[in-house]
Amino acid sequence: MNERVAVIGAGTMGRGIAQVAAQSGFPVTLYDAFPEALPRALEHLQAILQKLEAKGRLNEPAGAILERIQTTAALEDLKDARWVIEAAPERLELKRELFARLDECAPHAILATNTSTLSITAIASATKRPHQVVGLHFFNPAPLMKLVEVIPGLETAPEVVEAAVAFAQRLGKEPVVAKDSPGFIVNRVARPFYGEALKLHGEGIPFEAIDTIMRGLGFRMGPFELMDLIGLDVNYAATTSVYAAYFQEPRYKPHPIQRRMVEAGYLGQKSGRGFYRYPREPQEPEPPPARSEQAPKALILGSGPLADLLRARFAHTTNSDEAAFILDARVRLEKKSYPAAPPKLPVVTLVWGHSASTALRAYSEASDVAGFSLVPPVTERAVAELYAPLAGGEEAVALARRYFEAHGLRTLTLPDTPGGVGFRILALLINEAVSALQEGIADPQGIDRAMRLGTNYPQGPLEWSETLGIKEVLRGLEGLFHELGEDRYRPQPLLRRAAAAGLGKWR
């Protein structure tokens, strides 16, 4: 059987997909409507393959791989293709026009689209054989990223889905089947990583601090670094597309900062300036040396994963007479706050579900109050976030800084904000993943695997909710919804049911 792979579009994604197919042994035809784009694409591919060959990362000579790639500016040359993968710009009408022509020009092919946000069903409806149309969403850069989302439209035949999964595996990829819905898995679930980061920045948190905190949680790049890498225009377009596709659902709403950056031409690395200026040499500050014997003693309150971690790894006492301060690791503000006969001590309270300022009224016996956030699992790169309320907080913040730095953690003191940075972004990622699960977009394993492979997240969002505690995530979101009053923080019903049932794992 002929196994020729035709790729539509000689841009970044099209070239990358063509390279993957050719390296996997498939004969490839690379099509572009603009003939002048094709020699440039071949030159680019030749340079990349020669570099890989020089590094010993190819199983055969670069020239042999390149010989498998033909180019054409005529769709009629695709008549013998077994697979057609469209990687044209993200415009629905353009894709529909292409698929209507491909219906005739590639009559024996399975027609696949690499769209990242558009409806597979809408694209397939432009053909006379929607049962042979499927989404194959590769991630950039296609030769390096392992994930391929396989998305059937409403009429895609089951055997076509099976063939698409097998084809992706032959390309050396890890396919995840997703339901046809705006953004599929990754571009939908990942929206809060950018959207909530922008919202926090708009509330006065420096973007550099947000990036530092998220890297401290194990993300390879912070949201602002990643937007600069992707391109502010590309990220803004994806956000706008998902927002429109969900009929202006508030939690997908673009932020004015995005539009302002695009209008200014600050598009990120490709324009030399985004949130950062380029070239840039990021500097990761060294964590302080651990001197836990110098840490002030804390009386740790609460139960659950974070409280357990604090007691296991950080100096503490169970005797209130020995404590220098109270470290309250409970999520909710039903902090009837102290143990019996409380001393008049400073309190450093967890702010996952509220701001430090809101917490003041819960600690009338305290000499001073501040907030903290620390998100498990805590690695050597973790950052302890510290928050002073609008009134006071100096003594409590100073004690918390000494405490966490004595245990080898970096600290950042930031403007008071409900939820802090790390937990707030992560909680919305989890809530979005639960929403995708609730709607049947994919199963728990598929959602987590897609997010790890497609975005390089250190854990899948649902896995992370198990690390934090499903009940604790719910309580934090309930508190954020109460204090901030925006629908984006409303916990998903499935999350409420899971917590009510005492669920510890989603699998």
Tell me the per-residue pLDDT of 230-244, one tens digit each, with 9 for 90 and over: 899 989 988 998 899
The distance of Cα 101 from the centroid of its chain, to the nearest Å, equals 35
Active site residue 364: no
Say yes or no to pLDDT of 16 above 90: yes
Q: What is the CATH number of domain 292-414?
A: 3.40.50.720
Q: What pLDDT does 1 receive? A: 45
Active site residue 292: no
For the domain made up of 187-271, the CATH class stated in words is mainly alpha
DSSP annotation of 360: G
Query: pLDDT tens digits for 84-113?
Result: 999 999 899 999 999 999 999 999 999 999
Average pLDDT value for the chain: 94
Q: What pLDDT does 334 receive? A: 61
pTM of the model: 0.93
Q: What pLDDT does 166 receive? A: 98
Nearest-5° Cα angle at 180, 178 to 182:
105
Whole-angstrom CA distances from 6 to 67, 111, 118 are 15, 10, 21
Average pLDDT over residues 29-44: 97
Helix, strand, coil percentages for the chain (3-state, nearest 5):
45, 15, 40
> Is the domain covering 5-177 a CATH 3.40.390.10 domain?
no
Reported as a pLDDT band with limits 50, 70 and 90, residue 341 is very low
Query: pLDDT tens digits for 382-406?
Result: 999 999 999 989 999 999 999 999 9
Q: What pLDDT does 442 receive? A: 97
For the chain, what are the domain ranges? 5-177, 187-271, 292-414
Average pLDDT over residues 449-461: 96
Say yes or no to pLDDT of 337 above 70: no
Q: What's the rounded Cα separation, in Å, for the pair 303 and 143?
A: 45
Active site residue 116: yes
Q: What pLDDT does 321 receive? A: 87
Find the catalytic residue in 86, 114, 116, 255: 116
> Which segments of 407-460 does DSSP mark as H helices, in order?
422-438, 444-455
Contact 217, 409 (CB under 8 A): no
Q: What's the rounded Cα separation, in Å, for the pair 100 and 8?
A: 14
Q: Which two tokens stand for residue 39?
A: 């020699």
Q: What pLDDT does 340 receive? A: 42
Q: What percent of the chain has pLDDT over 90?
A: 89
Find the catalytic residue in 86, 114, 119, 137: 137
Q: Which of 114-123, 159-168, 201-210, 329-338 has the lowest mean pLDDT?
A: 329-338
DSSP annotation of 89: -
Average pLDDT over residues 358-373: 91
- In which element (H, E) is residue 85 found? strand 83-86
Average pLDDT over residues 401-424: 97
Find the catalytic residue in 114, 119, 187, 357: 187
Which residue type does 249 have?
A: E
Residues contacting residue 57 through CB under 8 Å, at least 6 positions apart: none
- With b for 16 or more beta-carbon neighbours within 10 A and e for fewer, the 162-182 pattern comes to ebbbebbeebebebbbbebbb
The distance of Cα 218 from the centroid of its chain, to the nearest Å, equals 12
292-414 shares the fold of 5-177: yes
Say yes or no to pLDDT of 414 above 60: yes
Dihedral sign (CA 99, 100, 106, 111):
positive
Active site residue 149: yes
Phi and psi based region of residue 258 (left: phi greater than 0; alpha: psi -120 to 50; beta: remaining): alpha
Average pLDDT over residues 308-330: 93
Whole-angstrom CA distances from 408 to 162, 168, 317, 328, 411 are 50, 44, 19, 20, 10
Residues contacting residue 99 through CB under 8 Å, at least 6 positions apart: 86, 111, 113, 123, 124, 126, 127, 133
Q: Which two tokens stand for residue 405?
A: 């730095």
Q: What pLDDT does 214 receive? A: 97
> Which segments of 300-421 does DSSP mark as H helices, in order?
305-313, 356-359, 394-406
Average pLDDT over residues 161-170: 98
Q: What pLDDT does 362 receive? A: 86
Contact 233, 267 (CB under 8 A): yes
Find the catalytic residue in 149, 225, 432, 466: 149
CB-CB neighbours of 233 under 10 Å: 17
Say yes or no to pLDDT of 267 above 80: yes
Which has the higher per-residue pLDDT, 334 or 151?
Answer: 151
The tokens 């391929």 sit on which residue? 148
